[in-house]
Chains A and B, each alone.
Chain A
Amino acid sequence: MTSPLRDIRRRELGGPDPLDRRLGILPQTPLTWLRTLFFTRSALGLAPSLTPAVIFLPVGVLLGPHALNVLSPTVLGRLDLAVTIALAVLGVLVGIALGREIRSATRLFIAASLESLVTIAFVTGATIYFARVTGLPLGAPIAAFGLALGLCASASSATSADPDSEPSAEVATRVADLDDVVPIVVATIGFGLLAPVPIEDTLTLALATVLSGLAVGAIGWLLFERAESGAERAVFLLGALALAGGAAAMLRASPLAVGLIAGLCWTIAPGRADRIVQDDLGKVQHPLVVLLLVTAGALWAPSVVSLWLLAPYLLFRLAGKVAGAWVSARIADVSAADLAAFLVPPGVLAVAFALNFRQLLPPDAGDTLLSAVVIGTAAFDLFALAVVPHWRRRPT
């Protein structure tokens, strides 16, 4: 007998404890239910079960200018370049995932891209309609803002799923890894097309983004395997990532796109550059995620407009994920309800997209977008923890 309130993340290692079975499971009180949301019983003791976004976004808000002002506007301005490099790192990770899966799991990539496109279409359409009808002052062209919110909404992290727990969780995790490629590509092209600049400039910028990624990829490929020590290799890697972030910042291009192309190069190119990058990035990946989330939380600016935007964002992201899962479930050969349930949490990628668009949009619009996505991400992560396990628990 298993507790009806336990989801796969809160399962004990090695299955139910025999002692528990003998003693029987105590009836759940609201307090114990709340505790199960915050902790998981593991072999080594209590460990937090909440996703990083739920923990570090509020920490960022607390440290930000609207609360303790530890991260003052000046500090946040200085952090902007670090954020750009962190975005390039995320792009590299997405690129490596794409490079590895594209040949062996083309169907999954198509399914993930379809799911992503459906969500982008839902949220973009709903946001444009809502902003037009209600007269929301967005401070940016409505189409560009709607597209930005749609792209943020398309990200999924599948953090409510343990990839090894069941086949559908494994598929969902891979779909969540691959569904970030389309938004990065759409952002690179779409923003250029919506900007009031000649089409030649847009194409030049897109080409410059690709060339920067290829250059970083080529430099890394030539250097990483020739490093004489681990420390030297780490310096080469950090230099390549700083180059990716710096080039993107200089060109005002997407660091996610530059990183994605570099990561793709390292995976496709002969040698083991991708494994070197992945091993070394493993050491800095978590601090960078924390940096992104805390910075995003600190940049959160309470505004009425961002609260209004939650209506299309929350409603149509959920609808988009359900519809996207329904469309792609047949291709991925998985239950649509399971896939939708696992894809609900947006995770750090949604916040990363919002930070990226904040650098491209006018200041007021960028702050509004980021604030809406920060609240929406925290809400969806909590929703995924509290509601999705019930949603998936159905008679089979």
Chain B
Amino acid sequence: MNSTDERSGRETRLLVLVIVVSLAVLLLLARFKFPPVGLTAGPPSPGPLDKLAARATYDDLAAAIAAVVQRVEPSIVIVQVDSPPPEEKEKERGKERGKEKIGPVPPAPALSPRLLPAIRLRPDIALVHVPAGMRVSPAQGFSGPTAVFATDPKREIALVRVAPLPDSAAGLPSAFERFPGFSYVAVIEAAMGGPSARPAFIGRLDTSVDDRWQPSPLLIGGASEASAGSLLFAVDGRLIGMVLPQFGTLAVVPPAALNAVVVELGGGGTNGGGV
């Protein structure tokens, strides 16, 4: 065998060795699973010229709010609520009359259907505000919850079952503990195609005593720019709370209180990653 053949044979052996070792190590390392994190594909980075262009502060705020929507989208489920039909209302009222001996009540005007954002607090359970006299109705024209898990008329909320996310912990929002107020936040509201958002300034927040919630909600001072049922997120994507009616005004119910209600209604404890 001449030196060229020897050399060629050595090179082929080297090639085979390198490939076999690489494959073996890759297959070995592929046996490990990466811990799940909620990272989803986002839009491309802004181009180099975009970064140089003069930007108004409002542009930065708009970009921050858009980024929040993109980040929290897996945590939000759109739920439709509407008034029950008159005969169902009458049946309900009849039950109450039988129980509490209350007199006949004139029928309330029917409320038009509304879309509200539900916050996913477990991989398959989301919490939504259901105003008094309304109920969760089947989604029409969009993918909504699969079923109602529990309702709590006293707190004006309901737990709905939603399609679980692929990763058990991904999509559950992280909580903003003790939001101090006097800050711009993203108000998440519902739209047909998914969550929408707008910036709002939240000023003074005062702790109110309300035995329905533990810890206590925070009353929003002044005229609120958020509506009942909307969700407040910090610009870094952490959940500040859900805006719910309280004492004729609006209050922010913090994530810990929402979580406690889920446990109380049988939605189970947290399983990591969420509030």
Which B residues lie within 8 Å of A136 (CB)?
Answer: 34
Q: Once the chains bind, are A139 and B39 in contact (CB under 8 Å)?
A: yes
Give the contact-size bracket for chain A.
35 or more
Q: Once the chains bind, are A322 and B26 in contact (CB under 8 Å)?
A: no
The answer to the question of A250 belonging to the interface, with a C-beta cut-off of 8 Å to chain B, is yes
The answer to the question of A252 belonging to the interface, with a C-beta cut-off of 8 Å to chain B, is yes
Q: Which residue of B lies closest to A305 (CB)?
A: B34
A134 to chain B, nearest CB (A): 5
Q: Once the chains bind, are A133 and B45 in contact (CB under 8 Å)?
A: no
The answer to the question of A38 belonging to the interface, with a C-beta cut-off of 8 Å to chain B, is no
Which A residues lie within 8 Å of B10 (CB)?
Answer: 337, 394
**Bound CA–CA A78/B49 (angstroms):** 9
User: Interface digits, A134-149 against B, CB 8 Å rule (1 contact, 0 not)?
Assistant: 1111111100000000
The answer to the question of A246 belonging to the interface, with a C-beta cut-off of 8 Å to chain B, is yes
B8 to chain A, nearest CB (A): 8
Q: Which residue of B lies closest to A84 (CB)?
A: B48
The answer to the question of A383 belonging to the interface, with a C-beta cut-off of 8 Å to chain B, is no
Which A residues lie within 8 Å of B48 (CB)?
Answer: 80-81, 83-84, 249, 359
Cβ contact of B15, chosen from A137, A305, A315, A322, cutoff 8 A: A322
A62-91 with Cβ < 8 A to chain B: 77-78, 80-81, 83-84
B85 to chain A, nearest CB (A): 43
Taking A337-B14, A366-B45 as contacts, is the C-beta distance between A319 and B22 under 8 angstroms? Answer: yes
User: Interface digits, B33-67 against A, CB 8 Å rule (1 contact, 0 not)?
Assistant: 11011111111110111011000000000000000
**Bound CA–CA A365/B39 (angstroms):** 10
Cβ contact of B11, chosen from A138, A335, A365, cutoff 8 A: A335
Q: Once the chains bind, are A396 and B3 in contact (CB under 8 Å)?
A: yes
User: Interface digits, B173-197 against A, CB 8 Å rule (1 contact, 0 not)?
Assistant: 0000000000000000000000000
Q: Once the chains bind, are B45 and A359 in contact (CB under 8 Å)?
A: yes
**Bound CA–CA A138/B167 (angstroms):** 14
Q: Once the chains bind, are A364 and B39 in contact (CB under 8 Å)?
A: yes
**Bound CA–CA A315/B1 (angstroms):** 32
Q: Which residue of A lies closest to B17 (CB)?
A: A322
Q: Once the chains bind, are A135 and B11 in contact (CB under 8 Å)?
A: no
A66 to chain B, nearest CB (A): 19
A392 to chain B, nearest CB (A): 11
Q: Once the chains bind, are A129 and B30 in contact (CB under 8 Å)?
A: yes
Q: Once the chains bind, are B7 and A308 in contact (CB under 8 Å)?
A: no
B272 to chain A, nearest CB (A): 16
**Bound CA–CA A323/B16 (angstroms):** 9
Q: Once the chains bind, are A81 and B49 in contact (CB under 8 Å)?
A: yes
Which B residues lie within 8 Å of A361 (CB)?
Answer: 44-45
A19 to chain B, nearest CB (A): 35
Q: Once the chains bind, are A135 and B36 in contact (CB under 8 Å)?
A: yes
The answer to the question of B223 belonging to the interface, with a C-beta cut-off of 8 Å to chain A, is no
A369 to chain B, nearest CB (A): 11
Which A residues lie within 8 Å of B167 (CB)?
Answer: 135
The answer to the question of B12 belonging to the interface, with a C-beta cut-off of 8 Å to chain A, is yes
Q: Which residue of B lies closest to A134 (CB)?
A: B34
The answer to the question of A130 belonging to the interface, with a C-beta cut-off of 8 Å to chain B, is yes
User: Interface digits, A83-103 against B, CB 8 Å rule (1 contact, 0 not)?
Assistant: 110000000000000000000
A80 to chain B, nearest CB (A): 4
Q: Once the chains bind, are B30 and A140 in contact (CB under 8 Å)?
A: no
Best-buried of A78, A140, A362 by chain B (most CB within 10 Å): A362
Which A residues lie within 8 Å of B33 (CB)?
Answer: 134-135
Which A residues lie within 8 Å of B263 (CB)?
Answer: none
The answer to the question of B25 belonging to the interface, with a C-beta cut-off of 8 Å to chain A, is yes
Closest 6 interchain pairs by CB? A137-B39, A80-B48, A362-B42, A315-B22, A319-B22, A133-B30
A sample of 7 inter-chain contacts (CB < 8 A) reads: A129-B26, A134-B33, A318-B18, A323-B18, A326-B11, A359-B48, A396-B3
On B, residues with C-beta under 8 Å from A are 3, 7-8, 10-12, 14-15, 18-19, 21-22, 25-26, 29-30, 32-34, 36-45, 47-49, 51-52, 167
| Additional pairs, 8, CB under 8 Å, beyond known A133-B30, A360-B44 | A130-B30, A134-B33, A135-B36, A137-B37, A139-B39, A139-B40, A140-B41, A316-B26
